[in-house]
Structure 1
Amino acid sequence: MTGQPFLLGLTGSIGMGKSTTAEMFRALGVPVWDADAAVHRLYAPGGAAMPAIAALCPEAVGVDGVDRAALKAWIARDPTALARIEAAVHPLVAADRAEFIAAQPDAPLLLLDIPLLFETGAEAWLDAVLVVTAPPEAQRTRVLSRPGMTEAQFQMLLAKQMPDAEKRARADHVIETCSLEQTRAAVQALVDKLRAAHA
């Protein structure tokens, strides 16, 4: 494994503590690539996705970059829109990720935070997958405490995601995020184990 970082994918359903867990890896000096942040960069003014989105949906692109509300409106009225956006944006996201990996040749371990990891088949190129999980009632409380979130929106988001039990069954590592202390200790133990094995 020498000369190539160990690629650990991080995923988990909404409200399971993925972002908090990623920050814990970052605090331990593990470089983190965030798929959502990559999309934000691509959609920002001057971002690489702007020409591709402009070609698909001109009204969704302006001086402030890509207008997500306009994209959502297009997706709502055109059943082919989402697939076309994904076909244009996914290669750009992959290029952003490849650039991140290439920039860290000496890191023993890299964390790749990918919300739809299993849904997009990313486990095929990762060395291992970590799933964060929490009891359903904790997940529900966390999500419904978000500004503007309703029970109906929560149920719709859950319906779009692979069930938590299935993610856990397919994972190489699982961390429960019931408390910050417990999560931090589990992250530390996993980082120590992977660094020792792949130094």
Structure 2
Amino acid sequence: MTKTIGLTGGIGSGKTTIANYFNSKGIPIYIADIEARKIMQSQEIIEALKVIFGTSIFDGNILIRQKLADIVFNDPEALKRLNGIVHPAVKKHYEDWLLEQDSVPYIVYESAILFENDGYKNFDYIISVTAPVQTRIDRVMDRDAISQEQVQKRVDAQWSDEKRISKSDFIIENSNLEQAKLKVDQILKILKIKQKES
């Protein structure tokens, strides 16, 4: 039976980098944000977004992600409506993908909002990736070319590291990537032992 690992962390914590390291160890990964972006290009989702948010967030049929982000990160109700459209579609896509992974011992599902939408309850183990808030802010400012204030709004919209840690089986501190990779290796050894015991 394939064990499912939920991997989460705040914006800029480097959780996708950690997910990719798991992948380099032969573990299939599902990165919810990347899959959501693909799904948001489907005609069905585009039509639903136009109904709720209007056509100003589109250039023709191309979603202007920054315009949508500006709306939803300033309005919790708008974020809820967006999640109500996208999350069910991603959930269905993930469930179909998971059925194809039945020959592997583990998969990793990476998502920023495992706890916020109660998705964490669907996994055998939860790993939280952490990093100091200022490090995370600096990373996102560099990555997305946005202001500190914009990043802070996104940080504030998510759970704190402390809250995530309290509900996680494993923690990976990701200030130093080499040390974070060593922690992944340790976790994989522990999981191997647990698998033999079960």
Specify if TM > 0.5.
yes
SS of residue matched to 1:146: helix
Query: How do 1:56-71 residues align onto structure 2 when only pairs under 5 Å count?
Result: 56-57=52-53, 59=55, 60=57, 64-69=61-66, 71=68
Cross-structure match for 1:92: 89
Change (3 A) 1:74 1:141: closer
Give the one of 127, 135, 158 matched to 1:161: 158
The code of the aligned residue for 1:125 comes to N
Cross-structure match for 1:49: 45
Report the CA distance between 1:183 and its aligned residue.
1.1
Report the CA distance between 1:137 and its aligned residue.
4.1
Give the one of 112, 117, 120 matched to 1:115: 112
Asked whether the equivalents of residues 73 and 79 of structure 2 are also in contact (C-alpha less than 8 Å), the reply is: no
The code of the aligned residue for 2:171 comes to V
In 1, Cα distance between equivalents of 2:145 and 2:59: 26
What CA deviation, in whole Å up to 9, does each residue of 1:74-102 have, x standing for no partner? 65998854433322222111101101111
Asked whether the equivalents of residues 7 and 111 of structure 2 are also in contact (C-alpha less than 8 Å), the reply is: yes
Give the one of 106, 126, 142 matched to 2:103: 106
SS of residue matched to 2:166: helix
Report the CA distance between 1:147 and its aligned residue.
4.5
Report the CA distance between 1:184 and its aligned residue.
1.1
Cross-structure match for 2:10: 13
Change (3 A) 1:50 1:10: same
User: What is the TM-score with the length of structure 1 in the denominator?
Assistant: 0.83
The unaligned stretches of length 5 or more in structure 2 are none
SS of residue matched to 1:170: coil
Report the CA distance between 1:51 and its aligned residue.
4.1
Cross-structure match for 1:134: 131
In 1, Cα distance between equivalents of 2:47 and 2:85: 10
Change (3 A) 1:65 1:196: farther
What CA deviation, in whole Å up to 9, does each residue of 1:36-73 have, x standing for no partner? 011111122x4652343345456256765444355457
Asked whether the equivalents of residues 10 and 130 of structure 1 are also in contact (C-alpha less than 8 Å), the reply is: yes
Change (3 A) 1:54 1:173: same
What root-mean-square deviation, in Å, do the aligned CA atoms of Structure 1 and Structure 2 show?
A: 2.7
Change (3 A) 1:142 1:83: closer
The code of the aligned residue for 1:29 comes to G
In 1, Cα distance between equivalents of 2:30 and 2:49: 23
The code of the aligned residue for 1:134 comes to A
Report the CA distance between 1:164 and its aligned residue.
1.1
Residue 173 in structure 1 maps to residue 170 in structure 2: yes
In 2, Cα distance between equivalents of 1:43 and 1:19: 20
Change (3 A) 1:138 1:61: closer
Matched residues, percent identical? 27
